[in-house]
């Protein structure tokens, strides 16, 4: 949560519970600040993306990813640590993938409680292209379409909630290394709606987003990933993150 949003809505008691040191007022509207809070408190904004080639998902394939994200609005703000677990599965049409994420957000503030959040995402491959042949593993490029719905609940005394909906367009390239390893880079632009509500007030709005990640598939099943995520608002922070993933079903 940002104190900017709380000052705009006049909910001083909510601000005292939710955090974060004083910030300068800016020119953003109430709806933009609410959008930022709603998106950043949901997995779509609080966790960096995991780089994956969009053509990887076959029917029955599944993956678990342990994810970590960290952001701090400015030097006066408390640090927010996000730990999430994402289960993904190929569902057998249009190389589509269903993902479910649960996240626990800790606020490094003695008087602050945590947030619990979750999201459901559906991604489909729009374009999948392979370069190279002759028995060698190809370089692969892809474009996907991802739709996300998320929500969050404050675990303190205030019955405060947040929600989000977003559409993103993952763009990726995967470079083979050896027989089973690969490097994949993804850029994920998008646009989302965020909403936040306390017992005293509620607001929501729309903001653009951008994410990026690089992953190393160490073996055909295990991968490590580093990335960033930003919900774009004037003066807003860039989220940094990492992930470890394990494929559980058939792999290509």
Domains of the chain: which residue ranges?
3-247
Both tokens assigned to 60: 């029955």
**Helix/strand/coil percent split, the chain, to 5:** 10, 50, 35
Residues 77-88 have pLDDT tens digits of: 888 999 999 999
- Domain boundaries 3-247, CATH class: mainly beta
Block residue for tokens 């930022």? 36
Q: Is residue 105 within 8 Å of residue 121, measured between CB atoms?
A: no
Which residues, given as ranges, of the chain have pLDDT below 70?
1-27, 55, 57-58, 133-135, 249-252
pTM over 0.75, yes/no: yes
Look up residue 96 and give its DSSP letter: -
Residue 29: burial class (beta carbons within 10 Å; 0-12, 13-18, 19+): exposed
Residues 218-248 have pLDDT tens digits of: 988 899 999 999 999 988 899 999 999 998 8
Percent of the chain with pLDDT over 70: 85
């Amino acid at each position: 949560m940002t104190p900017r949003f709380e000052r705009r809505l006049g909910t001083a008691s909510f601000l005292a519970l939710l955090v974060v040191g004083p910030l300068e007022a800016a020119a953003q509207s109430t709806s933009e600040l609410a959008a930022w809070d709603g998106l950043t408190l949901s997995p779509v904004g609080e966790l960096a993306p995991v780089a994956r080639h969009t053509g990887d998902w076959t029917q029955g394939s599944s993956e678990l990813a342990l994810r970590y994200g960290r952001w701090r609005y400015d030097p006066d703000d408390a640090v927010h640590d996000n730990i999430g677990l994402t289960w993904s599965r190929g569902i057998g049409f249009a190389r589509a993938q269903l993902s479910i994420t649960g996240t626990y957000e800790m606020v490094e503030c003695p008087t602050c409680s945590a947030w619990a959040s979750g999201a459901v995402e559906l991604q489909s491959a729009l374009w999948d292209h392979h370069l190279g042949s002759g028995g060698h593993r190809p370089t692969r490029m892809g474009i996907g379409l991802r739709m996300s719905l998320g929500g969050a609940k404050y675990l303190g005394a205030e019955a405060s909630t947040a929600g989000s909906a977003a559409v993103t367009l993952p763009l990726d390239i995967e470079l083979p290394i050896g027989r089973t390893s690969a490097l994949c880079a993804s850029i994920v632009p998008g646009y989302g709606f965020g909403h936040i509500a306390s017992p005293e007030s509620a607001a929501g709005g729309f903001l653009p987003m951008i994410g990026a990640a690089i992953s190393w598939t160490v073996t055909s099943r295990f991968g490590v990933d580093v990335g960033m995520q930003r919900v774009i608002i004037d003066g807003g922070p860039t989220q940094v993150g990492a992930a470890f993933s394990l494929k559980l079903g058939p792999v290509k």
